Structure 1
Amino acid sequence: MAEPLLALDGVHTHIAQYHILQGVDLAVPAGGVTVILGRNGAGKTTTLRTIMGLWQASGGTIRFDGADITSLDTPAIARRGIAYVPENMGIFTDLTVRENMVLAAVDGPMDSGRLDWIFSLFPPLRTFWEMPAGNLSGGQKQMLSVARAVIEPRRLILVDEPTKGLAPAIIKAMTAALAELARTDTTILLVEQNFAMAKSLGQTVSVMDDGRIVHSGAMAELAGDAALQERLMGLSLETHQ
């Protein structure tokens, strides 16, 4: 088997007195979408933030493209080609859409061809290019958050619940955009509570519970086994279509 693009081996994370991640083992193959599922509070967001260096792992190792990145700081991790779309979107509301994108293009001026590609994924960003980002709708802000993460080519993008609180039409557009992104050289690690979206996008899936990975495998296997879904998450994906 090919070496995974990203691998967590026995990763622990403490936040103050709380032991959140308790030996996470996770393998993310290169290409496509890997989804992390689990109940609220299982440790999914903490896993993404630990990978990104926003919270320091207190044990275990994180390897990206074969290199140990466990002790690197966030800027160094980003320079290796990893981007993060947080649940709170992380945009600058007082700046225009254009200014948000300029700040994200750390390697220099934005490539016009790549910008046109992003506009094809998220047409409202072209429409509101000179508008303050704070004036955008929730769905448009989420589009901007993803667009900022991919204004430059990335090997891996970590996306935390991109459809939370969005209308069905916006969820459909976001799902299509992430599917298109996954057809490029960018690998996606997605935390998502919308199980219909997760099933449609994911090739592989890991389920978290109480700070550990309790199941990993093909998304098709999990999606087709209601008893396994019930055992792992206490619900059936089919009830969340």
Structure 2
Amino acid sequence: MGEPILTLSGVHTHIGQYHILQGVDLAVPRGALAVLLGRNGAGKTTTLRTVMGLWRASAGTIVFDGRDITGMATPDIARAGIAYVPESMAVFSELTVRENLVLAARNGLLDSARVDWICGFFPALRKFWHSAAGNLSGGQKQMVAIARAVVEPRQLLLVDEPTKGLAPAIVASLMAAFLDLKDTSTTILLVEQNVNFVRTLGDSVGVMDDGRVVHAGAMHDLAGDAALQQRLLGLALDAHQ
């Protein structure tokens, strides 16, 4: 795979008294869709939040597009070209769908062609364009969160469990959107438990355990090795449908 756009080297993160990340080494290839797998509590979400500067690394370095961003503030990291979609489907509940996107747009101006592209994958956004985001279903809120993250072109998109609780039809739309984003040279780092979703989309994979990356390689290699899956994840992917 290509050169990394994001590299974590020996990254440690403490949250209060808890030592969550314990020396994470991870390289995300430019233009790829990289997946983080692992059991609950392995440190996947903390890794994304540390890259975004929401939690500060207590040791190690994070380099994005050749620039050390380890100590940068979250707004500066966002301006550098990284967007983050949290698992919580965080939206501004009292604002309309349109207003949620305007907040994320450069200078508060929406690009109509970009909005049309987004609504092509998520038609419900157009239907609820002037509705309060807090009144939407969980799946619709997830659409808003993803749309907000990509309303401006980004070099790197960090996405935490995007398919959780979503209907199959919405998952299919999400898959198409991510594939299209890859075609526009957007790199995606994805935390996900939907095995079929990541097997179809993933180029590279890192498996985390106890705050470290214990395996890194091509997704197709892990997907084709049942013994390795069992050792790293405690399950065979084919059995986890």
CA distance in 2, matches of 1:191, 1:87: 9
Identity %: 69
Aligned length: 241
Aligned residue for 2:189? Answer: 189
Please tell me whether the aligned partners of residues 104 and 149 of structure 1 are also in contact (alpha carbons under 8 angstroms).
Answer: yes
**1-structure distance, mates of 2:3, 2:17:** 35
Aligned to 1:23: 23
**1:32 CA drift (Å):** 2.3
For 1:1-241, list aligned pairs within 5 A: 2-241=2-241
Deviation, structure 1 residue 222: 0.4
Deviation of 1:106 (Å) = 3.4
Task: Check whether the contact 1:8–1:62 (CA below 8 A) recurs between aligned residues.
Answer: yes
Q: Secondary structure at the match of 1:107?
A: helix
- Report SS of the residue matched to 1:58: strand
Deviations 1:1-55 (A, max 9, x none): 8531000000000000000000000000110200000000000000000000000
Q: Which structure 1 residue ranges, 5 or more long, are not aligned?
A: none
Report the Cα distance in structure 2 between the residues aligned to 1:136 and 1:2, rounded to whole angstroms.
39
- AA aligned to 2:200 is S
Scaled by the length of structure 2, the TM-score of the pair is 0.97
Runs of 5+ unmatched residues, structure 2: none
Cα separation, 2, equivalents of 1:170 and 1:155: 24
1:32–1:183: 8 Å Cα contact kept in structure 2? no
Cα distance in 2 for partners of 1:82, 1:30 equals 13
Root-mean-square deviation (CA), in Å? 1.1
Question: C-alpha separation between the residues in 1 aligned to 2:53 and 2:199?
Answer: 28
Amino acid at match of 2:19: H
